[in-house]
Structure formats: structure tokens, C-alpha cells
């Protein structure tokens, strides 16, 4: 398994977020991004997860709720990658994938776009 400290991995996630075009980040609303070491035991290869209500499903009822949550998992990413460059690329793909869910884009469309 590739070695990388949590701090270094968090920095890669932050850099991936910085590469999201400002036109899109301005539209993101009530969402927080976290890094965890491992995903739930029932899905050990999960690289990231979006939990919340996509922007496309929010209505007038959407007020006073906790932020949506995007979590990027360090362990499975490091286990599947062979180099730091692979980690950078996979982290960026995962961050974009989860942000796309925040915008209401489903997995089928993400796979078609190459963010599977």
C-alpha cells in the first residue's frame, strides 16, 4: 500500500477542490467536505460518498438543515493507487464525482463523463 500521511492526503483533497471552476463553487450551497481514513465496513472499497439533498431536489422546505456532507476516504484510495500521481488523479476524480452528486448528477451520467 502506498504511504501518505492524512495531512498530505487532506492537502490533495483541498487542491482538488481548488481546481473546481469558480463558477461551480459559487453555486455550491450548504455542503462540507471531510476526509476520513476508512469507509464503512460494509463497503471497504468506497472512495467517497455524498450525503444530503442535491441542489436539484431542494425546495422551499429546505431551510435550517445541517450541511450536506462529502467524505473522501484515504485508505481505499491509497490501496488502489501505485504512485503519488495516481493518488492525485484519483482524488480529483472522486472529489468531482461527489460534488456532481451535490448538483444532482447521477452515477450513470458521471460514468459516461469519465468520472465513474
The whole-number pLDDT of residue 23 equals 92
Query: Taking the model in full, what pTM does it have?
Result: 0.92
Report how many domains make up the chain. 1
- Tens digits of residue pLDDT in 14-41: 999 999 999 999 999 999 999 999 999 9
The three-class DSSP label of residue 85 is helix
Give per-residue pLDDT as tens, 50-100: 999 999 999 999 888 999 999 999 999 999 999 999 999 999 999 999 999
Question: By residue range, what is the domain housing residue 107?
Answer: 6-53+66-113
Is the residue at 58 inside a domain? no
Domain CATH number, residue 48: 3.30.2010.20
Query: Are the CB atoms for 76 and 104 separated by under 8 Å?
Result: no
Amino acid at each position: 500500500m502506498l504511504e501518505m500521511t492524512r495531512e498530505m492526503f487532506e492537502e490533495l483533497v483541498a487542491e482538488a477542490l481548488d481546481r473546481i471552476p469558480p463558477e461551480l463553487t459559487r453555486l455550491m450551497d450548504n455542503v462540507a467536505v471531510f476526509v476520513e481514513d476508512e469507509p464503512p465496513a460494509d463497503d471497504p472499497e468506497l472512495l467517497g460518498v455524498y450525503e444530503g439533498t442535491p441542489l436539484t431536489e431542494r425546495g422551499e422546505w429546505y431551510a435550517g438543515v445541517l450541511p450536506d456532507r462529502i467524505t473522501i476516504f484515504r485508505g481505499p484510495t491509497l490501496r488502489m493507487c501505485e504512485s503519488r500521481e495516481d493518488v492525485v488523479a484519483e482524488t480529483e476524480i472522486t472529489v468531482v464525482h461527489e460534488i456532481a452528486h451535490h448538483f444532482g448528477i447521477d452515477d450513470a451520467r458521471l460514468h459516461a463523463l469519465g468520472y465513474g
